[in-house]
A and B are shown apart, each in its own frame.
Chain A
């Protein structure tokens, strides 16, 4: 079945550094790739998404890249801040069905 692998599972960076999280997916029919941020005890919230007809998208300090041929996509956070500390999930899907990665716990140290 469909599978989404996410790495690393934990990531610790200094404030101001960049953070990169990578995901690979197995279903070549996937056409939608969102990233969610989840703070402790709260619901996941969308931070950025990309569709299969776009290779890169940027929103302020956050960017996502997609390589459909290799079936992988990445989240880039620049100038990290302590409030970026959370668990981040990637997902891939099509037709209403989203499969999530296992999550990355990002810790930004002041």
Chain B
């Protein structure tokens, strides 16, 4: 298994540009989440999904959209990038919450710089 994969590893955007951060997992995990990590701020939850077709907002959802059309993929869309969205983005997945399988496995991260 490749686990949780994220692309790209690094991206530079100009203010106002849009882009999609890709996240995929091959472990048949139901739950997937997106976090951003800024110095001194820890990991902040952007959006999460409890299964295909179901998404919900986290702590900092503004400026980001998600969809979950398949179990494997959970892309994060920036509609109009702003310098405040400069951060490291982590995707994570877990098998199930109800079956004591809550362990979240993280992807390698995407480093985003918005100029």
Q: Specify whether A and B are partners.
A: yes
User: What residues of chain A have their CB less than 8 Å away from a CB belonging to chain B?
Assistant: 1-2, 6, 9, 32, 34, 43-46, 49, 51, 89, 91, 94-103
User: Can you pick out 25 interface pairs between chain A and chain B where the beta carbons lie within 8 Å of each other?
Assistant: A1-B59, A6-B42, A32-B97, A34-B103, A43-B106, A43-B108, A43-B109, A44-B90, A44-B106, A46-B103, A46-B104, A46-B105, A49-B103, A51-B100, A89-B42, A96-B33, A96-B97, A97-B33, A98-B33, A98-B45, A99-B45, A100-B35, A100-B45, A102-B40, A103-B42
Interface size class of B (residues with CB under 8 A): 20 to 34
**A95 and B103 in contact (CB under 8 A), knowing A43-B108, A100-B43?**
no
Interface positions of B from 19 to 63, Cβ below 8 Å from A: 31, 33, 35, 40-45, 48-50, 56, 58-59
* Contact between A43 and B50, CB atoms less than 8 A apart: no
A102: nearest chain-B partner, CB-CB? B42
Chain B residues with CB under 8 A of A44: 43, 90, 106
A100-B44, A102-B40 known; 16 new pairs, CB 8 Å cut-off, are A2-B59, A34-B104, A43-B108, A44-B43, A44-B90, A46-B103, A49-B102, A94-B97, A96-B48, A96-B49, A97-B56, A97-B58, A98-B33, A100-B42, A100-B43, A100-B45
Contact assessment for B90 and A95 in the assembled complex, using a CB-CB cutoff below 8 Å: no
CA gap between A100 and B35 in the complex, in Å: 10
- A46 to B106 alpha-carbon distance, docked (Å): 9
Contact A43 B33, beta carbon cutoff 8 Å: no
Residue of A nearest to B98 (CB): A95
Q: How far is the CB of B93 from chain A (nearest CB, A)?
A: 10
Alpha-carbon gap, A2 to B81, bound state (A): 27
Given A95-B50, A96-B97, do A89 and B31 touch, yes or no (CB 8 Å)? Answer: no
The residue of chain A having its C-beta at the shortest distance from the C-beta of B32 within the complex is A96
A45 to B33, CA, bound (A): 15
One of A34, A43, A99 near B59 (C-beta < 8 A):
A99
Closest to B111 in A: A41
As a 0/1 sequence over residues 88 to 100 of chain B, the CB contacts with chain A under 8 angstroms (1 = contact) are 0010001001001
Given the complex of chains A and B, what is the CA–CA distance between A37 and B59 in angstroms?
Answer: 21
Chain A residues within an 8 Å CB radius of B107? 43
